[in-house]
Amino acid sequence: MGDVAGFVAATYQRGVPVIQFPTTLLAQVDSSIGGKVGIDHREGKNLIGSFYQPRAVLIDPGLLDTLPRREFLNGLAEVIKYGFIADPEILDFLLAEDGLKKGLSGQKRIRLIARCAGIKAAVVSQDEREAGYRMILNYGHTTGHAIEKVTGYSAVSHGQAVAVGMIVAAEMAHHLGKLNRDDVELHRRVISRAGLPIKLPQVEISALLEAMLLDKKYGTSNRFVLLEEVGRPVVVEGVPEEIVVKSLLATQEE
């Protein structure tokens, strides 16, 4: 709902003030921060939207006490993303945290939200309109958005899709000689430990490739956020299709 409210605020009377009050973990650590307000279209994820900064973002972690498990996992996938692209200590925390499958609480929750929100704000402050650096925030999202599209934006949640997308990105980086196998397996360990999927749902690889072509980050050729090592993301253009397919197949349900 934050994206819808932001988009309406950006377009009504050519822009009216908006304050974001995120009530999900996903919104508190990611989507309410940075001013990107996008709406899904049947042709692709977030294809309709704008950049429109809120006047303020007010976060109350206590609201997460009533959050359904599925929604908690949506946000946890984004938390894991921040661990891989910016702060490996987040991954250590998640691997050690016994309450992950029930939900974080207390000061641990506050610290984790604050850390992720701080990373997002720092990245956006350097590249507000995603001309380059901000693209690292899309780690796992190119494949993830394609999964959401081909499954009708309902069968697979955003967090589940992004979780699998990060596995695919790790496999892709490994096949390109950028990421070692231990770090690929770290992806699987962290994501499965959190209760998120590590395998593609039953979808056609050709359908995923077609959906990726409509991704707004593609440009004139494919474009993926990959890792050279944990905490060192890079944007790679023109990944050979055989590598993309090989990476998808490595993550497919048997």
Listing DSSP states for 71-91 in one string gives: HHHHHHHHHHHHHHHT-HHHH
Note whether 54 and 20 are within 8 A (CB): yes
Q: Exposure string (b/e) for 125-153, b if CB count within 10 Å is 16 or more?
A: eeeeebeeebbbbbbbbbbbbbbbbbbeb
Strands (E) across the chain are located at 19-20, 36-41, 44-51, 56-57, 223-229, 232-237
Among 162, 160, 138, which Cα is nearest to 234's?
138
- Which 8-state DSSP code applies to residue 28? I
Among 254, 242, 253, 40, which Cα is nearest to 141's?
40
22 alpha-carbon distance from chain centroid: 17
Catalytic residues: 14, 36, 78, 120, 130, 134, 138, 141, 145, 158
CA distance 146 to 74: 16
DSSP helix/strand/coil, 97: coil
